[in-house]
Amino acid sequence: MSKVLIIGAGAAGSVVAKKCAKNRDIFSEIHVASRTLSKCTALQSECSTPITISQVDADETAQVEQLIRRVDPEIVINMALPYQDLSIMDACLITGVHYLDTANYEPKDEAKFCYQWQWDYQDRFKEKGLLAVLGSGFDPGVTNIFCAYAQKHYFDSIETIDIVDCNDGDHGHPFATNFNPEINIREVTQRGKYWEKGEWIETAPLSVTETFDFPEVGPRKAYLMHHEELESLAKHIKGLQRIRFWMTFSDSYLNHLNVLQSIGMTSIEPIDYNGQEIVPLQFLKAVLPNPASLGKTTTGKTSIGCIIRGQKDGKERSIFIYNSCDHATCYEEVQSQAVSYTTGVPAMIGAMMVLTGKWQGTGVFNMEEFDPDPFMEALSAHGLPWHVKEL
């Protein structure tokens, strides 16, 4: 029986709150705080059991500290944006509370995500006897757990990993992103990157493609991208020789993105507009559909997994571990599309692992450093069944 504080009442945060509210044996008290109180109020009325709410600006450590002291949770689930990771981690350290998030820190003024900023908190969390769980969404998150599970049960050594992410959903809009538009566009427009034999190799944005046969979806063209779990898995999967990340995009998405980019609408450099400073990408976010509103109209499936090759008992082995998730089924359950669902459910499960003592430790941890078995069991029990295919 534990109290949880969720910060961020957006598309994915709403799923976390609704899933926690369905599991009161573990989450006995749930408090949601976010920048815009009306979003918390709306979420409160949609949860199946009572939750409490408040307003917070999580950029301000002092506000988060006060909030934590008032709510007195055992863990903070950070479902705000990557920009708030460090201020929330600082508040957890001051107040002595465990921390969990789904995306690594990124400064607002530079489109560059990387784990080092949060790995630098290792000693401080250790000294305080606290646990920080990084990246407990789907990718990163479940994909890291898939790799740890493969290493534990299927391989003596893993040589290559290809993480393949397909959202084959159709939301009915000419252009929309399936999670926070600002974060999504910053991620997609940066240079591609993969890791091979200890080196990072960079590629021009979306310039390398390959077709993969996605389970329950079919063959789709995917684009090589940099993604945050590459950094931690390259460090933690012993003997790994290469790791890459691939994501599918529809032609319509890419055409719109090309135009927006070429006219400067995806820039994060502030410009002067009628005497007011605005950031073009933030303005673009304001006019695009809110990802939380896409659930009702989205049909089709996501299919995300890891193609893993290595050695077992002296023989070569290749497997594909994946989950496929149906947008409409997610909407029926929690009024969200599958991208928010596949992010929110693992965040809830990560918190569950900590609160039930199945995952223990002090310091800052990536998901693959924990025992994957109880997490894999919980995935199937809470709406994200997974499959292993020998290739």
At closest approach, how far in Å is the CB of 16 from ligand NDP? 9
Whether residue 132 contacts residue 88, with contact meaning beta carbons closer than 8 Å, is answered with no
14 to 53: interface string for ligand NDP, x by CB under 6 A:
--------------------xxx--x--------------
Interface with ligand NDP (CB under 6 A), residue from 4, 5, 9, 367: 9
Site string for ligand NDP, 57-96 (x = CB under 6 A): xxx-------------------xxxx-x------------
300-to-172, 208, 343 alpha-carbon distances in Å: 11, 25, 17
The residues, any chain, with a CB within 8 Å of residue 13's CB and separated by 6 or more, are 6, 7, 32, 34, 43, 79, 80, 344
Residue appearing with tokens 């190799």: 201
DSSP state of 290: P
How many Cβ atoms from other residues are within 10 Å of residue 92's Cβ?
28
Which of helix, strand or coil describes residue 291? Answer: helix
Binds ligand NDP by CB under 6 A, chosen from 4, 5, 6, 13: 13
Whether 16 and 382 have beta carbons less than 8 Å apart is answered as no
DSSP secondary-structure letter at 213? E
Distance between CA atoms of residues 17 and 20, nearest Å: 5
Residue closest to ligand NDP (Cβ): 10
Q: Does 292 bind ligand NDP (CB under 6 A)?
A: yes
> Minimum Å distance from CB 187 to ligand NDP?
8
Kindly state the number of chain residues that form the binding site for ligand NDP, as judged by CB under 6 A: 33
User: Cβ of residue 157: shortest distance to ligand NDP, in angstroms?
Assistant: 27
Contact present, 171 and 331 (Cβ < 8 Å): no
- Give the nearer residue to ligand NDP in terms of CB position, either 139 or 168: 139
Residue 293 DSSP one-character state: G
Candidate list 51, 53, 75, 103; residue touching ligand NDP; CB under 6 A: 103
Half-sphere exposure (Cβ direction) of 105: Cα atoms closer than 13 Å: 17
What minimum distance in Å lies between the beta carbon of 100 and ligand NDP? 11
**What residues between 318 and 347 interact with ligand NDP by CB under 6 A?**
343
Q: What is the separation, in whole angstroms, between the first and last Cα of the chain?
A: 43
CB of 47 to ligand NDP, least distance (A): 15
* DSSP structural state of residue 109: T
- Which amino acid does the sequence have at 195? W
Contact pattern from residue 114 through residue 153 relative to ligand NDP, giving x for each residue in contact according to CB under 6 A and a dash for the rest: -----------------------xxxxx------------
Q: Of 175-234, which residues contact ligand NDP (CB under 6 A)?
A: 179-180, 183
Chain positions 344 to 363 lying near ligand NDP, rule: CB under 6 A, are none
Q: Which residues have a Cβ under 8 Å from the Cβ of 49 and sit 6 or more positions away? A: 21, 22, 24
| Closer residue to ligand NDP (CB): 12 or 148 | 12
- Of 128 and 386, nearer to ligand NDP (C-beta) is 386
Q: Does 288 bind ligand NDP (CB under 6 A)?
A: no
- Bridge partners (DSSP) of residue 389 are 320
Among 254, 276, 258, 274, which residue's Cα sits nearest to residue 266? 258
Is residue 164 within the footprint of ligand NDP (CB under 6 A)?
A: no
The least distance separating ligand NDP from the CB of residue 86, rounded to whole angstroms, comes to 12
Nearest approach in angstroms of CB 93 to ligand NDP is 18
- Nearest approach, Cβ of residue 39 and ligand NDP (Å): 5
Distance set, CA 114 to CA 93, 119, 282, 342, 347 (Å): 21, 9, 21, 22, 20
Judged by phi (left if over 0) then psi (alpha if -120 to 50, else beta), residue 46 lies in alpha
Residue 36 CB, shortest distance to ligand NDP, in Å, is 4
Q: Does the footprint of ligand NDP cover residue 8 (CB under 6 A)?
A: yes
Instruction: Enumerate binding residues for ligand NDP (CB under 6 A).
Output: 7-13, 34-36, 39, 56-59, 79-82, 84, 102-103, 137-141, 179-180, 183, 291-292, 343
